[in-house]
A and B are shown apart, each in its own frame.
Chain A
Amino acid sequence: MFFPLKEKIWLIMKLTFLFTIICVFQSMAVISQNKVTNINIKNAPLEQFFSEIEQKTSTKFLYRYENIEGKLVTVNMANASVDELLDAVLPANGLFYTHMKNNLIVVSPSVPANKEKTITGTVVDNQGVPLLGVNVVVKGTYQGTTSDDNGKFSLVVPNDQAILQFSFIGYTMQEITVGDKTSINVVLKEDTRTIDEVVVTALGIEKNKRTLTYTTQQVNTENLATVNKGDVGSALAGKVAGIAVMTGSTGGSRIIIRGERSINNSNTPLIIMDGVPSNFGLGNIDDIESINVLKGPSASALYGSSAADGVIIVTTKKGKYGETKIEVNSQTTFGLPYLYPKFQNVYGQGVGGDYNSNSEYYSWGPKMEGQTVTNWTGDEIDLKPQRDNVKDLFRTAYSLINNFSYSTGTKKSTAYFSYTNTKGQGLLPVNTAVSHKVNMRMDTELIKNLKLDAVLTWQRSKTENKPTAGDDLFSPMWQLVKMPRSIRTQDIKDAYYYDSTGSKKQLTWAPGSTGNINPYWSMKGREAEEISNNVNAQASLRYNIKEWLYIQARGRMAFNNGNEEYKEYWDTQYVASGKGSYELKYTKSQALNADILLGFDKDLTKDWHLSANAGAEIRDNQSAKIDSDTGSSGLVLENKFYLGNGATVSTENSASHDQTQSVYGTAQVGFRNYLFLDVTARNDWSSTLPSPYDYFYPSVGLTGIISDIIKLPEAISFAKLRGSYAEVGAGAGFAQIFQTYSRTLSGTQGSVSTGSTKVASQLIPEKTKSWEAGTEIRVLKDRIGIDFTWYKSNTYNQLVKVTSPPTSGFSEAYINCGNVQNKGIEFMLNAVPVKTSLLKWDVNVNFSRNWSKIIKLTDTMDEYEIDAPNLSVGDNWIIVGRPYGEILSRGFERNDAGRIIVDALGMPRITTDSKTDLGNYNYDFRSGLTSNIQYKNWNLYFLIDLNYGGVRQSATEAQMMLCGTSKATLYGRDGFVLDGVKEVTNTDGSVSYVENDIQIDAETYGKAIGGRASNGCGEAFNHKATNSRLRELSIGYKIPVRNTVIKDLTVSAIGRNLFYIYNACKWFDPDTSYDLDKNGQGSESAFLPGTRSLGINIKLTL
Chain B
Amino acid sequence: MKRYILNKFKLKLCCAAVLFLTFFSCTDDFMEINTNTTEFMELSTKEYGELFFQAEHVGVAWQSTDDMSRMSSTLALHNCGYIACGQAAYDCYQLSQGWENSGFKDVYVDVLPCLISMMDVAKQAGDVGPYNLALIWKVFQLQRVTDVWGPTPYSEAGTGKETIPYDSQKDVYYQMFDDLTSAVTALNKELESDPDMNLFGSNDNIYAGDVSKWVKLANTLRLRMAIRISNVDPTKAQQEAEAAIAAGSMMETNDDDALFTVSDLDGEGNGMPRMESFYQDVMSTNMESVLKGYNDPRMEEYWSPVEENLVNVNFPAIYKQNIGGYHGFASGSDPTEYTYFRAFSKYGPRFVDGNQLVTPINVMNAAEAWFLKAEGAWLGWNMGGTAQNFYEKGIEISIKQWKGTSYSSTAINDYINSTATPVAPDNYPYYDEPMTNIPVKFSSDKTTQYEQILTQKWIALFPCAFEAWAEFRRTRLPKLYPKKYSVNANVLPATGQILTRCPFAKDEYSANATEVANAIEMIGGEDLENVPLWWDVNDN
Instruction: Point out residues on A near B: beta carbons under 8 Å.
Output: 1, 5, 8-9, 12, 351-352, 356-359, 374, 376, 447-448, 450, 510-512, 514, 543, 545, 551, 553, 573-574, 577, 594, 596, 616, 618, 631-633, 648, 650, 653-659, 661-663, 685, 687-688, 691-693, 734-735, 737-743, 745-756, 758, 802-811, 813, 860-861, 863-865, 903-904, 909, 912, 1007-1008, 1014-1015
| Chain B residues with CB below 8 A from A756, complex form | 109-110, 113
| Contact between B266 and A618, CB atoms less than 8 A apart | no
* Whole-angstrom CA separation of A1082 from B507 in the bound complex: 23
| Contact between A743 and B158, CB atoms less than 8 A apart | no
| Chain A residues with CB below 8 A from B36, complex form | 655-656, 734-735, 738, 740
Complex interface: stretch among B219-227, B273-281, B426-434 = B273-281
| Chain B residues with CB below 8 A from A803, complex form | 507, 510-511
CB distance from A479 to the nearest CB of B (A): 18
CB distance from B66 to the nearest CB of A (A): 9
| Contact between A594 and B20, CB atoms less than 8 A apart | yes
Q: Is B34 an interface residue (CB 8 A)?
A: yes
CB<8 Å pairs between A and B, sample of 22: A5-B29, A511-B309, A553-B17, A648-B267, A650-B267, A661-B27, A738-B36, A739-B41, A746-B267, A749-B49, A751-B54, A753-B114, A756-B113, A805-B163, A805-B164, A805-B512, A807-B157, A808-B157, A808-B160, A808-B161, A810-B160, A1014-B96
Q: Is B190 an interface residue (CB 8 A)?
A: no
| Chain A residues with CB below 8 A from B310, complex form | 511-512
| Contact between B50 and A752, CB atoms less than 8 A apart | yes
| Contact between A688 and B34, CB atoms less than 8 A apart | yes
Q: Is B116 an interface residue (CB 8 A)?
A: yes
Complex interface: stretch among B237-245, B353-361, B375-383, B468-476 = B353-361
* Whole-angstrom CA separation of A374 from B313 in the bound complex: 13
Known A351-B336, A860-B163; contact A754-B508, beta-carbon cutoff 8 A: no
B 136-167 binary contact with A (CB < 8 Å = 1; else 0): 00000000000000001100011111111010
Q: Which of B80-132 contact A (CB under 8 A)?
A: 89, 94, 96-98, 104-105, 108-110, 112-114, 116-117
CB distance from B255 to the nearest CB of A (A): 22
Of A688, A806, A860, the contact of B105 (CB 8 Å cutoff): A806
| Contact between B94 and A1015, CB atoms less than 8 A apart | yes
| Chain A residues with CB below 8 A from B117, complex form | 741, 754
| Chain B residues with CB below 8 A from A631, complex form | 266-267
| Contact between B279 and A514, CB atoms less than 8 A apart | yes
Q: Is B409 an interface residue (CB 8 A)?
A: no
CB distance from B520 to the nearest CB of A (A): 14
The winner among B5, B21, B514 for most chain A CB atoms within 10 A is B21
Q: Is B442 an interface residue (CB 8 A)?
A: no
Known A512-B310, A756-B110; contact A807-B274, beta-carbon cutoff 8 A: no
CB distance from A70 to the nearest CB of B (A): 14
The 7 A-B residue pairs with the shortest CB-CB distance in the complex, in nearest-first order:
A805-B512, A809-B158, A751-B54, A752-B50, A511-B310, A807-B153, A740-B39
Who on chain B is nearest to A1004 by CB? B335
Known A447-B9, A865-B510; contact A749-B268, beta-carbon cutoff 8 A: no
* Whole-angstrom CA separation of A186 from B336 in the bound complex: 87
Q: Which of B16-34 contact A (CB under 8 A)?
A: 16-17, 19-24, 26-27, 29-31, 33-34
* Whole-angstrom CA separation of A514 from B26 in the bound complex: 56
* Whole-angstrom CA separation of A655 from B35 in the bound complex: 10
Who on chain B is nearest to A1003 by CB? B336
* Whole-angstrom CA separation of A577 from B468 in the bound complex: 29
Known A357-B314, A545-B10, A746-B266; contact A806-B104, beta-carbon cutoff 8 A: yes
Given pairs A1-B22, A358-B314, A512-B310, 9 additional interface contacts (CB within 8 A): A510-B311, A577-B277, A577-B354, A616-B23, A659-B33, A685-B27, A746-B57, A751-B53, A805-B515
* Whole-angstrom CA separation of A287 from B84 in the bound complex: 63
| Chain B residues with CB below 8 A from A351, complex form | 336, 339
| Contact between A735 and B50, CB atoms less than 8 A apart | no
Known A754-B113, A806-B108, A807-B108; contact A358-B278, beta-carbon cutoff 8 A: no
| Contact between A802 and B35, CB atoms less than 8 A apart | no
CB distance from A512 to the nearest CB of B (A): 6
| Contact between A573 and B339, CB atoms less than 8 A apart | no
| Contact between A735 and B96, CB atoms less than 8 A apart | no
* Whole-angstrom CA separation of A653 from B26 in the bound complex: 28
| Contact between A632 and B268, CB atoms less than 8 A apart | yes
Instruction: Point out residues on B near A: beta carbons under 8 Å.
Output: 5-6, 9-10, 13, 16-17, 19-24, 26-27, 29-31, 33-43, 47, 49-51, 53-54, 57-58, 65, 89, 94, 96-98, 104-105, 108-110, 112-114, 116-117, 152-153, 157-164, 166, 202-203, 205, 264-269, 274, 277-280, 309-311, 314-315, 335-336, 339, 342, 353-354, 356-357, 487, 489, 503, 505, 507-508, 510-515
| Contact between B50 and A751, CB atoms less than 8 A apart | yes
The winner among B41, B267, B278 for most chain A CB atoms within 10 A is B267
* Whole-angstrom CA separation of A553 from B23 in the bound complex: 14
Who on chain B is nearest to A622 by CB? B33
| Contact between A658 and B489, CB atoms less than 8 A apart | no
CB distance from A976 to the nearest CB of B (A): 19
| Chain B residues with CB below 8 A from A616, complex form | 20-21, 23-24
| Chain A residues with CB below 8 A from B50, complex form | 743, 749-752
CB distance from B107 to the nearest CB of A (A): 8
* Whole-angstrom CA separation of A997 from B41 in the bound complex: 65
Who on chain A is nearest to B205 by CB? A747
| Chain A residues with CB below 8 A from B110, complex form | 753, 756
* Whole-angstrom CA separation of A545 from B10 in the bound complex: 8
| Contact between B266 and A745, CB atoms less than 8 A apart | yes
Of A745, A746, A863, the contact of B510 (CB 8 Å cutoff): A863
| Contact between A805 and B511, CB atoms less than 8 A apart | yes
Known A577-B353, A909-B489; contact A740-B27, beta-carbon cutoff 8 A: no
* Whole-angstrom CA separation of A543 from B335 in the bound complex: 80
* Whole-angstrom CA separation of A748 from B265 in the bound complex: 7
CB distance from B415 to the nearest CB of A (A): 35
| Chain B residues with CB below 8 A from A688, complex form | 34
CB distance from A541 to the nearest CB of B (A): 8
| Chain B residues with CB below 8 A from A573, complex form | 277-278
| Chain B residues with CB below 8 A from A655, complex form | 36-38
CB distance from B116 to the nearest CB of A (A): 7
| Contact between A738 and B35, CB atoms less than 8 A apart | yes
* Whole-angstrom CA separation of A655 from B203 in the bound complex: 29
| Contact between A553 and B16, CB atoms less than 8 A apart | yes
| Contact between B160 and A1008, CB atoms less than 8 A apart | no
CB distance from A185 to the nearest CB of B (A): 48
* Whole-angstrom CA separation of A879 from B378 in the bound complex: 56
CB distance from B50 to the nearest CB of A (A): 4
Of B49, B89, B109, the contact of A811 (CB 8 Å cutoff): B109
| Contact between A748 and B335, CB atoms less than 8 A apart | no
* Whole-angstrom CA separation of A577 from B98 in the bound complex: 25
Who on chain B is nearest to A865 by CB? B510
* Whole-angstrom CA separation of A912 from B528 in the bound complex: 10
| Contact between B311 and A358, CB atoms less than 8 A apart | yes
| Contact between A553 and B30, CB atoms less than 8 A apart | no
Known A596-B17, A661-B26, A754-B117; contact A512-B309, beta-carbon cutoff 8 A: yes
| Contact between B356 and A577, CB atoms less than 8 A apart | yes
| Contact between A737 and B34, CB atoms less than 8 A apart | yes
| Contact between B40 and A741, CB atoms less than 8 A apart | yes
* Whole-angstrom CA separation of A789 from B336 in the bound complex: 61
| Chain B residues with CB below 8 A from A1014, complex form | 96-98
| Contact between A749 and B203, CB atoms less than 8 A apart | yes
| Contact between B89 and A1015, CB atoms less than 8 A apart | yes
* Whole-angstrom CA separation of A654 from B38 in the bound complex: 6
| Contact between A661 and B23, CB atoms less than 8 A apart | yes
| Chain A residues with CB below 8 A from B116, complex form | 809
Known A663-B24, A754-B113; contact A746-B54, beta-carbon cutoff 8 A: yes
| Contact between A752 and B54, CB atoms less than 8 A apart | yes
Of A357, A661, A691, A747, the contact of B266 (CB 8 Å cutoff): A747
* Whole-angstrom CA separation of A753 from B113 in the bound complex: 8
